[in-house]
Amino acid sequence: MVQLVLDPLARGRSAEEILRLRVCDPAIGAGAFLVEVVSVLAEHLVHAWTRARAASTNTLLATGSLERSGGARVSNDTDAGAVAVDACAPSSPTPVRASNGVDVARDSAPRTHADLPAAADPDLVALAEPPDDEATWDGEARRRIARTCVFGVDVDGDAVAAARAALGLSDDEGRGLRIADALALEWPATFPDVFARGGFDVVVGNPPYIRQERLASAGPAGTQAKAPLRQFASYDGVADLYVYFVELAHRVLRPGGAYCLIIPNKWMTAAYGRPLRRFLAAQGSVDGLVDLARTPLFADADAFPCIVWGTVGAPSARPNARPNVRPSARPINASRVDEGVSVADALRATVSDPGRALPRERWGAEPWHIETPSERALLDRLARRWPPVREVVRERPARGVVTGLNRAFVIDRATRDRLLAEEPAAAALIRRFVKGRDVRRWLPDLAERWILLVDRGTSLDELPVVRAHLAGFREALEPRPPGFTGAWPGRKPGAYAWYELQDPVGPLVKARAARLLYQDIQTAPACCLDLDGDVVPDTTVWMLPTQDRFLLALLNSPLYGWYARRRFPPALNGAVRPKHEYLQALPVAQPASALRSAIEQLVERRVALEPARRTGDEDARRSAHDLDAAIADAIADAYELTSAERHLVREG
């Protein structure tokens, strides 16, 4: 990441030009990114010193004064003549291969502080002079870069101290690293010298992944921290904080400055990311995007990262910019990365492969999706040809119940049998309870688990046994009183009695009509038919208010799985989350009546076969396999898939 944005700025530059660069991490943490910045720029600084010394030596050789000068030498066995030519030759459009493998034309590299008109800085000129002893160059280059080129802030004083230590800076030397809230900071006042020249050259980093809801729950301090966010064009009331750091990069960079950030990929498709997507589309700044959601980049973190980079300001300031090309005409290089591919390889391939260039006009306020041209063609055709779920099933999907305390309301068979034996009238409140893991293809796997469905407004006066059962958990069931501060042993505040479920029971839960159930987190297509509508799901299960066998077939098909992996938000281990706004956009084919009838008959046979298959019956297993294949083919027929499209779906 750091090389991606720094190499085009620093390669081939003089020592003074490199030391004029100003790089910022607006959420420095322990300083990992700034340590890498120092490493990359120090390497370029050493190369600049080497070129300068070689050029000086070559000049002495040419004038015949080398012996009189005391015999200066060329370091590291470098070919002095070759280096001198490289150092002294005027800029040309000949591409230079950067260390990230990307060809960058020297005369099209972004303008830096080194290019800006400024009076000579004697201190900087002196700082650019190499030490006499070449053995000290590496360490001295790091020290000079760390003291001069790196800046950043963090709200955590310990993190700032750790970053200074990692960079080998004293508190006085590390004044470029400040303790501050980046989103509320007056940046020009804090770094006046930087902003006197227009801003930073580069912004890199890994902003915090913090939900705004956590700020709201932090009381007055959280409310105060949230206030500055409303000043951002990308503001949304539920957006994670990382969203604002993307816009912040545009605010603190000079025209032509570059940014590269690693952030969660949720902004690409989530509703809260719409203002950010609109902002980036208006700025026309994004040059590239790599979705790393399928890569376990951060251990034990549900992050689903992506890397986004770009250049702010006029397109002529961009690396490899072509003259007279409108910003809207420049493609965005983008790719999805599968597990096992390194970040460096992913970035290199995304930047250098023309096949990763996607039309910019597709990237506006609507969700951003990364697909190959063949994937995009199929997805577009399906969307044009068929109506979405929202037009086929008019009532919205809904999730299951929230009890607030499962150990009180969810009961096993022994407890159920006891309650019914002592109080038969309790049967009206006792329903089968299913979780996401119970949702299988075709039929639910009903565990020995029930729920006491005590909705708001339910009286237990005539059900003393049920009331007594719940009373055993009363302390943990009590809702927290409004305005109460401190630890509370019970449930969240709300207008519910201690013996009622925490959230109101929705109409789809109350209804006893057949419906389809599907998981909130899916590793593979899994939709089942609740034949009598008796089961009550928890919040890891969605209910679709229909018993349409064609939809059941679709939601268990390979085509649906292929679509879901490209259109639904990711979850851990390659899973997806078919939230209602995404599932409702799923195109639903409208086949001829004969084909629809054939599919419905296949589904009826498959549903009837499922209980026997689950018992391990070998004949049932083989028949189920054949029926699954037949249903998949019939769904492909219904969607009029070509042979190439069928191959694309099979490949996943």
Residues 236-292: pLDDT tens digits? 988 899 999 999 999 999 999 999 999 999 999 888 999 999 999 999 999 999 998
The confidence score (pLDDT) of residue 58 equals 66
Task: Name the residue with tokens 């009076």.
Answer: 119
The pLDDT of residue 362: 84
- Whether residue 515 contacts residue 507, with contact meaning beta carbons closer than 8 Å, is answered with no
Q: How many CB atoms lie within 10 A of CB 540?
A: 16
Q: For tokens 């038969």, what's the residue? A: 424
Q: How far is CA 66 from CA 53, 320, 475, 528, in A?
A: 13, 40, 91, 86
For residue 119, give the nearest of 11, 196, 13 by alpha carbon. Answer: 196
**Predicted local confidence at residue 209, as pLDDT:** 76
Pure H helices in 462-615: 464-471, 474-477, 507-510, 549-555, 558-567, 580-583, 593-614
> Could you tell me how many residues make up the chain?
652
Strand partners, 290: 307, 335
Q: How does DSSP assign 435-491, residue by residue?
A: -GGG--SBS----S-EEE---TT---TT-HHHHHHHHTTHHHHSBPPTT--S--SSB
**Residue 528 in contact with residue 514, Cβ under 8 Å?**
no
pLDDT beneath 50: ranges in the chain: 66, 68-111, 114, 116-118, 217-219, 315-326
Distance (Å, whole) CA 648 – CA 637: 15
Tokens of 562: 């292929």
Strands (E) located in 337-441: 357-358, 398-399, 410-411, 430-434
Summarised one tens digit per residue, pLDDT across range 120-154 is 577 788 888 989 999 999 999 999 999 999 999 99
Fold of the CATH domain 2-374: Rossmann fold (3.40.50)
What pLDDT is stored for residue 214 in this prediction? 54
Name 485's Cβ contacts closer than 8 Å, sequence gap at least 6. none
Domain ranges of the chain: 2-374, 375-392+548-652, 394-545
Question: What per-residue confidence (pLDDT) applies to 68?
Answer: 43
**Does residue 541 sit in helix, strand or coil?**
strand
Closest residue by Cα to residue 564 from 609, 527, 515:
527
Residue 213: CB atoms within 10 Å: 12
Contacts (Cβ under 8 Å, ≥6 apart) of 21: 6, 9, 10, 41, 112, 113, 114, 149, 201, 202
- How many Cα atoms sit within 13 Å of 257 on the Cβ side? 25
Query: Going by C-beta distance under 8 Å and a sequence separation of 6 or more, which residues neighbour residue 401?
Result: 451, 453, 501, 503, 505, 506, 509, 536, 537, 538, 539
Distance between CA 36 and CA 100 in Å, rounded?
14
CA pair distance 156, 54, nearest whole angstrom: 45
Are 640 and 649 contacting, i.e. CB atoms less than 8 angstroms apart?
Answer: no
> Which pLDDT value is given to residue 339?
67
Residue 515 belongs to what H/E stretch?
Answer: strand 515-519
